[in-house]
Amino acid sequence: MIAKKYKTLGLIALGIALGTLATAFILPRFTSTTSEAAVDAGERKVLFWYDPMYPATKFDKPGPSPFMDMDLVPKYADEGSDEVAGVTVSPTQVQNLGLRTDIAAMGQLTYQQSLPANVDFNQYQYEIVHARASGFVEKSYPLAVGDYVKQGDPLIDITVSDWVAAQSEYLTLLKTQAPAELLKGVRERLYLAGMPNELIEQLSKTRQIQSYLTIRAPISGVLTSFELRSGMTVSKAAIIATIQGIDPVWVVAAMPESLTDFITADTQLTVAAAALPGQHFEVQKWQVLSSAQENTRTLSLRLFVGNPDHLLKPGMSATVSLATKSQPYLLIPSQAIINTGDEQRVITQDGQGRFIPKQVKIYAEASGKTALLSGLQAGDKVVTSGLFLIDSEANINGALERMREQPAEHSNMATDQGAAQ
């Protein structure tokens, strides 16, 4: 019993000794480490905590993220700069993120597009053929709607009895050598009665009454109406035929409203038709019509296309290939644009390597390039890859808010354009 008691006392003494050692060596070290951490935390002021995957949401206290399976990350006051609305990324992070940049430079947008179109009659070559005199159709030439006629081709022959009396009077005055005033008056009556000038001249030469009239095509084109046949009677107001030209033919394309400013005298236009593969047709001239189509929000682009062989038929579908360049503008790659719907911005990199968001105003985009009206200057370096990660960081440290508080930089595009031209 005595031995067991001394053994118990020995163990108690050993425990006291170990506690003393812990108090002397281990506890001071723990306290020192904790104090250093507290000093570090005291030196760096925490603005808020956030989830890097949802940087727009800020929290007042640390803890687990409600969005992801991770802890919230502190945002320190010394990580941003109030002088420059930007963020700093280490070279290692730049390499890991695969950040790439490009230089803003003056240039012209190159725009190419194929526009759907239709072939139509040339409405400037449109003739309505009247009889101009009442008569009887002696002969109708073998023609029908859709036939092509050349200028001067005969359409119908008619007999006009109303001319006989006036012609007889005119021939009598010629025989009696009547004054020129009388002869002129009778000639005028014959012309108003529908007698062509060439028949009046023929009457003066042959001194034979003409009651037979051949009505001919006044222009070359396609008959779009022709209904008279032999044996019919016609009045002087009757329409004999309508003729519409097809050389040059009209090609009308539907053009987006956004292309209005792109269409210039230097625009290249070519026409092709699906029914004529491999063939392209010369555009003689073109014009943009003054009204837009409300249902499609397009403008009508009218082209005058040479058609000497009549290969292009009215009603055919066609394609208009458009190639044009804009006036000089400040250009950047389109992938550098961050479009939020309410604003457009880019991430620029200054000479010290800081990434700074800037608002921009866009003019147009084509072929992977975007033309700017304001916001940047020639020579500015813009981020084209990995910009969304930097944009999120800029949103966290308030760089975007400071960007919006500052007036946007406006480029004097008119001066730049004039210098470029």
Of 10 and 342, the structure prediction assigns the larger pLDDT to 342
Q: Is the pLDDT of residue 48 over 70?
A: yes
In Å, the largest CA–CA distance within the chain is 182
Look up residue 64 and give its DSSP letter: B
The DSSP string of 86-146 is -EE--HHHHHHHT-EEEE-EEE--EEEEEEEEEEEEEEEEEEEEE--S-EEEEEE-S--TT
Give the number of other CB atoms < 10 A from CB of residue 130: 15
> Quick one: tokens of 143?
């023609």
**Could you report the per-residue pLDDT of 202-252, keeping only the tens digit for each?**
888 888 888 888 889 999 999 999 988 888 888 888 899 999 999 999 999
Residue 169: pLDDT band with limits 50, 70, 90: confident
Q: Around 12, how many Cα atoms within 13 Å sit in the side-chain half-sphere?
A: 6
Q: Are residues 289 and 150 in the same domain?
A: no
Position 330, amino acid: L
In a domain, 11, yes or no: no
Q: Are residues 226 and 159 in the same domain?
A: yes
Q: Are residues 228 and 177 in the same domain?
A: yes
In a domain, 375, yes or no: yes
In a domain, 125, yes or no: no
Q: Are residues 263 and 315 in the same domain?
A: yes
Q: Around 141, how many Cα atoms within 13 Å sit in the side-chain half-sphere?
A: 16
Residue 418: pLDDT band with limits 50, 70, 90: very low
CATH number assigned to the domain comprising residue 262: 2.40.30.170
In a domain, 33, yes or no: no
Look up residue 411 and give its DSSP letter: -
In a domain, 228, yes or no: yes
Cβ-proximal residues to 173 (8 Å cutoff; 6+ apart), any chain: 182, 183, 186
| pLDDT at residue 383 in the model | 87
Of 74 and 287, the structure prediction assigns the larger pLDDT to 287
Domain end position, chosen among 325, 353, 380: 325
In this predicted structure, which of 29-33, 90-94, 236-240, 340-344 has the lowest mean pLDDT?
29-33
In a domain, 210, yes or no: yes
Domain end position, chosen among 296, 325, 354: 325
Mean pLDDT of 6-35: 41
Q: How high does pLDDT run on average in the chain?
A: 79
CA 203, distance to chain mean position in Å, is 63
Domain end position, chosen among 279, 309, 325: 325
Phi (first) and psi of residue 87, to 5 degrees: -130, 155
Position 160, amino acid: V
CATH number assigned to the domain comprising residue 183: 2.40.50.100
CA dihedral 26, 31, 33, 36 (to 10 degrees): -160
Q: Are residues 175 and 229 in the same domain?
A: yes
Mean pLDDT of 19-23: 41
- Percentage, residues of the chain above pLDDT 70: 76
Q: Are residues 285 and 184 in the same domain?
A: no
Q: Are residues 223 and 141 in the same domain?
A: yes
Query: Which candidate, 391, 386, 355, places its Cα nearest to that of 99?
Result: 386
Mean pLDDT of 385-409: 57
In this predicted structure, which of 43-52, 168-177, 327-336 has the lowest mean pLDDT?
43-52
Of 10 and 217, the structure prediction assigns the larger pLDDT to 217
Range 228-231 contact pairs with CB under 8 angstroms and sequence separation of 24 or more = 228/137, 228/140, 228/156, 229/137, 229/140, 230/137, 230/138, 230/139, 230/140, 231/136, 231/137
Residue 327: pLDDT band with limits 50, 70, 90: confident
In this predicted structure, which of 170-179, 192-201, 212-221, 381-390 has the lowest mean pLDDT?
381-390
Q: Are residues 143 and 237 in the same domain?
A: yes
Q: Are residues 249 and 115 in the same domain?
A: yes
Count the domains in the chain. 4
CA gap 102, 349 in Å, rounded: 10
CATH number assigned to the domain comprising residue 345: 2.40.420.20
- The helix (run of H) or strand (run of E) holding residue 293 is strand 283-293
Residue 281: pLDDT band with limits 50, 70, 90: very high
CA gap 283, 267 in Å, rounded: 11
Q: Are residues 311 and 386 in the same domain?
A: no
CA distances from 240 to 131, 165, 192, 198 (A): 6, 25, 18, 20
- The helix (run of H) or strand (run of E) holding residue 225 is strand 221-226
Structural domain that includes position 54:
46-78
In a domain, 10, yes or no: no
In a domain, 365, yes or no: yes
CA gap 183, 392 in Å, rounded: 97
Look up residue 38 and give its DSSP letter: H
- Percentage, residues of the chain above pLDDT 90: 30
Q: Are residues 279 and 373 in the same domain?
A: no
Q: Are residues 194 and 263 in the same domain?
A: no
Position 24, amino acid: A
